[in-house]
Amino acid sequence: MPGPLKVATPVDGDTYAGILQFYAEHMQFLDERAAQEWADGFTEDGVFEQNVKPEPWRGRSVIAERMRAGMERLAGRDVQRRHWFGMVACDRRSDDTVVTRYYAQVIETPRGGPATTYLSTTGEDVLVLRDGRWRIRYRLITHDAT
C-alpha cells in the first residue's frame, strides 16, 4: 500500500506525460470492456484493492478474471461506462517506483437515457517501468462516502 508520501520527488514532464498516456489507454480498455488488455496494465504479481471489497485481487490473471466477470454483469444492463482520471499527482520514490494519486469518476449512460455519475473515488497506484511500459504494481481505490 503506498500510504502518504514521505520522501518523494515530482516526476519530470516527459514521465508525467507518459503516465497520463498510460492511464488514458488503460481506462479506455476498461470502457471498451477489454478485460485482458486492461489487466495487462498490472504487473504479473499486481494487486488491485478497493475499500469496499473484503479481499484485494492478487495477480494479473485473477484481476483479469474478476474484471471480466464484472463486465459480463454490466453487459446485461445495456449501459456504457466512461472512466475519468484527473488531478493526477506523480512522485518518484527512491526505489524508482512512481506513486500516483488521482481522482476518478465513473460516468454511466443507459441506452436512450441521461449520463449520471455512477461512482466517485480517489486512487493511489504504485507504478513500475517494465520494458519501456508503465505497469501497476499496486492500486488502492477508495470509494467516496464509504
Is residue 139 predicted with pLDDT exceeding 80? yes
Would you state the pLDDT for residue 7? Answer: 52
CATH number of the domain to which 122 belongs: 3.10.450.50
Nearest to 100 by CA among 79, 119, 77, 125: 125
* Inter-residue contact 46 to 135 (CB < 8 Å): yes
Would you state the pLDDT for residue 69? Answer: 95
Q: Which residues pair with 98 in a beta bridge?
A: 92, 127
2 within some domain: no
Would you state the pLDDT for residue 1? Answer: 53
Name the region of 83 (left: φ>0; alpha: ψ -120 to 50; beta: rest).
beta
Is residue 73 predicted with pLDDT exceeding 50? yes
Mean pLDDT in residue range 113-124: 97
Mean pLDDT in residue range 44-65: 97
4 within some domain: no
> How many domains does the structure of the chain reveal?
1
Is residue 129 predicted with pLDDT exceeding 70? yes
135 within some domain: yes
Query: Does pTM top 0.85 for this prediction?
Result: yes
Q: Which residue bears the cell 478485460? A: 35
Q: Higher model confidence: residue 135 or residue 3?
A: 135
1 within some domain: no
**% of residues, the chain, pLDDT over 70:** 95
DSSP calls for 134-145: EEEEEEEEEETT
Q: How far is CA 1 from CA 5, 88, 118, 136, in A?
A: 11, 18, 25, 12
| Tens-digit pLDDT profile for residues 11-40 | 999 999 999 999 999 999 999 999 999 999
Q: What is the DSSP letter of 48?
A: E
CA–CA gap between residue 66 and residue 47 (Å, rounded): 12
CA–CA gap between residue 49 and residue 29 (Å, rounded): 19
Q: Please give the residue range of the domain that contains residue 89.
A: 9-143
41 within some domain: yes
